[in-house]
């Protein structure tokens, strides 16, 4: 069984990802990716991320 990956974001990286998510002109695929990274950095598990973002396990 594999263990989850720990992601540590710097403050500048987090601000940039938050800005991408908030920008209504950002393509949806980039918003999903940014949200997945942000949720992972917050320690949220794969199943919860899948539920929150509406994406498949292979995407997360």
Q: Is 14 in contact with 41 (CB distance < 8 Å)? A: yes
Under-50 pLDDT residues of the chain: 1-2
User: What are phi and psi for residue 54, nearest 5 degrees?
Assistant: 70, 25
Residue 26 DSSP one-character state: S
What count of other Cβ atoms lies within 10 Å of the Cβ of residue 36? 21
Look at residue 3 in the predicted model and tell me its pLDDT.
59
């Amino acid at each position: 069984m594999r263990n989850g990956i720990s992601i540590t974001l710097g403050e500048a990286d987090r601000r940039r990802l938050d800005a991408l998510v908030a920008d209504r002109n950002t393509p949806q695929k980039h918003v999903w990716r940014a949200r997945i990274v942000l949720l992972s950095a917050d320690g949220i598990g794969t199943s919860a991320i899948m539920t929150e973002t509406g994406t498949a396990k292979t995407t997360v």
